[in-house]
Amino acid sequence: MILLDAGTSLRRAWIASAVIYSATSQFAYLAVVQAGGSELAAIAAGWIVASRFGILAVAITRIFRDGVLLKAVAAVHAFDINAGLGLAQPDRSRAKRAFWAATLAMMVGWFIGITVGTFLGDVMGDTQRFGIDALFPAALLAIVGNALRTRNGLVAGAVGALICGLLIPVAPAGIPIILSVGGVAAAIALERNDVT
């Protein structure tokens, strides 16, 4: 839906969502493009945001120990919900079952969601009137909500947001988002300070 907002064709928007298989990466890319940033900066922003999935894949290595193909399929499907459900199970066989059940439900939901979203975006025309542009930051906030409940996550997020906000008026578009990883350094430095 946000892709249509940015002037991408219907079919291309659907394909992008299906192929990239990540809403957050698309949000990051488009945030930079809409701000007038270069293609390279936009892709870089999408990549950094996608590190979330690398981390989720790392987390589920505890559930999936053997079978290269099985591990690969699990890795590309790891999202917060199925990984969280899987890791909450007491043993590995139950963890696997919970993971795949949640994965199937989410996959169906994702493809229904992008299809409905694509056509809805087309039918609605002026999506701004319906506040659709406010929907995306809200979705991101919901995604990052759990991380912000930990102290380190909150510091990293707040400093990252601050860096971005301060740099937007002065730096080329896209750079503020990329440099926001400095929030991580702030969180770790603060924690070190506490310990000593």
Partner 1 sequence: MTTVAIVALAAGVWGQRLAGMFLVGPLLDRRPVLAQAASLIPAAVICAVIVQLSIADGKSLVIDERLAGLAVAGVLVWRKAPFIVIVVAAAATTAALRAIA
Site residues for partner 1, window 51-90 (CB under 8 A)? 51-58, 60-61, 64, 71-72, 74-76, 78
Q: Which of 89, 110, 152, 190 binds partner 1 (CB under 8 A)?
A: 152
Size of the site for partner 1 (CB under 8 A): 93
The residues near 34 (Cβ < 8 Å, ≥ 6 apart) are 6
Shortest CB 128 distance to partner 1, Å: 7
Q: What's the CA dihedral at 54, 56, 99, 17 to 10 degrees? A: -60
Give 106: exposed, middle or buried? Use CB within 10 Å, 0-12, 13-18, 19+.
middle
Range in contact with partner 1 (rule: CB under 8 A) among 83-91, 100-108, 115-123, 168-176: 168-176
Within residues 23-42, the interface with partner 1 by CB under 8 A covers 24-33, 35-36, 39, 42
Give 139: exposed, middle or buried? Use CB within 10 Å, 0-12, 13-18, 19+.
middle
DSSP letters, 93-113, are HHHHHHHHHHHHHHHHHHHHH
Range in contact with partner 1 (rule: CB under 8 A) among 87-95, 99-107, 115-123, 171-179: 171-179
Asked if 101 interacts with partner 1 (CB under 8 A), we say: no
Q: Say how many residues make up the chain.
A: 196
Shortest CB 78 distance to partner 1, Å: 7
Q: Which two tokens stand for residue 52?
A: 């979330």
Asked if 106 interacts with partner 1 (CB under 8 A), we say: no
d(CA 151, CA 166): 22
Asked if 144 interacts with partner 1 (CB under 8 A), we say: yes
Q: Which two tokens stand for residue 22?
A: 């990540």
Q: Which of 10, 12, 112, 125 binds partner 1 (CB under 8 A)?
A: 12
Q: Which helix (H) or strand (E) holds 63?
A: none
Nearer to partner 1, 119 or 167 (CB): 167
Q: Which of 13, 41, 95, 98 binds partner 1 (CB under 8 A)?
A: 13
Shortest CB 104 distance to partner 1, Å: 18
Q: Which of 10, 47, 97, 116 binds partner 1 (CB under 8 A)?
A: 47
